[in-house]
Amino acid sequence: MAFIELAGVDLAYTARSTGANTLAVSGANVDIAYGEFVSIVGPSGCGKSTLLKLIAGLMRPSRGNVRVDGSEVQRPLKTVGMAFQNATLLPWRNIRDNVMLPLEIVEPYRSTQRQDREKNHERVEMLLAKVGLSGFADRMPWELSGGMQQRAQLCRALIHEPSILLLDEPFAALDTFTREELWGVLQELWSFRKCTIILITHELREAVFLADTIHIMSARPGHIIKTSKIDLPRPRTLESTFDPKFVDVVHDLRHHIGKGKQS
């Protein structure tokens, strides 16, 4: 049984001003195994981010079913971590307190945060060390570069040990060199925590570098037009991106996305 399953999912938005319906996602079928690293790619506006919201329980489908661990998703899930294009760190909190924010919100951590404060500090330090931010816990967000803020955001998304990590173009605003460096950071975090990760990205090399499976969506209304298994050895390095097999996969994805724009 799939850990995450979308079966025949439609999602239609209703405009408040006119009452007109816009079909964003149509007949989406996706199966994701526990611990799998999945990427979803496709043209702008095809419904990639909508799929994340459906999986997280932030939206309900107009038709079809979304299931996580065998249960239908009917409300926002507590076992999800999320990271976005902008780091969204709270400017009045230092990095340690930003990373600890989910522990103040999500049970069972919320009820025990006071007595577990020292242990939680240790967990923060361990995660910060994993992403190369040792010694930065007391810094304020504005004292960190964009890439460092994204590393802190990944730590915040993982601090409550979610079973699912949803990433919506988390590196899109960064320069190429920082972005490629964070590919390796995220790959290491995934191997360390081994949660299920779903990454939305427009950068095809990023998708191939990180994912086990890539789902390609058509233009709106979005549906899955191709699923590709990435049969490349891990750990992957920047040198891997020059391998002919790697390049062939990227070209194949680009070809199908081009076809998806016309469908």
pLDDT per residue as tens digits for the range 48-94:
999 999 999 999 999 999 999 999 999 999 889 999 988 889 999 99
Q: 3-class secondary structure for 249-263? A: HHHHHHHHHHHHHHC
CATH superfamily of 4-79+163-262: P-loop containing nucleotide triphosphate hydrolases (3.40.50.300)
Determine the pLDDT at residue 86. Answer: 86
Cis peptide preceding 61, ω within 30 of 0: no
> How would you classify residue 239: left for phi > 0, otherwise alpha for psi between -120 and 50, otherwise beta?
alpha
Q: Rounded CA gap, 105 and 111, in Å?
A: 9
Please report, for the chain, the start and end positions of each structural domain, with discontinuous segments joined by +. Answer: 4-79+163-262, 90-152
pLDDT tens per residue across span 150-199: 999 999 999 999 999 999 999 998 999 999 999 999 999 999 888 999 99
Q: State the pTM of this model.
A: 0.94
